[in-house]
Amino acid sequence: GDSVTQMEGPVTLSEEAFLTINCTYTATGYPSLFWYVQYPGEGLQLLLKATKADDKGSNKGFEATYRKETTSFHLEKGSVQVSDSAVYFCALSDTGDDKIIFGKGTRLHILP
């Protein structure tokens, strides 16, 4: 079945550091890919998405590129801020499927 694997956390970085959170997926069709973010005490929010190979999703300085050849959708940000501290979930929705499948989440701590 479809699945998402993302790097385990927690990830701790200093402010202004470069961020990469790795995500790979397995799907039977041609999935849409997502990154969601969960701030403390809140529900998940869509951060960015890509719907086909080579698409790049971007938002709030974060970006991720849909790589079909490596079945990956790594999240990157050039300069993180303390306010980026949260849990980040990689996710997919396969062709013809109305549900989203999530990875386990990666907790990110940014130190001032």
Q: Which residues contact other proteins (rule: CB under 8 A)?
A: 4, 32, 36, 41-46, 49, 51, 89, 93, 95-105
- Dist. CA 29–CA 104, nearest whole Å: 21
- For other proteins, the closer CB: 28 or 45: 45
- For other proteins, the closer CB: 17 or 100: 100
The distance of Cα 2 from the centroid of its chain, to the nearest Å, equals 16
**Minimum distance between the CB of residue 39 and other proteins, rounded to whole angstroms?**
10
**Minimum distance between the CB of residue 106 and other proteins, rounded to whole angstroms?**
10
What SS3 state is found at 78? coil
- Dist. CA 110–CA 52, nearest whole Å: 31
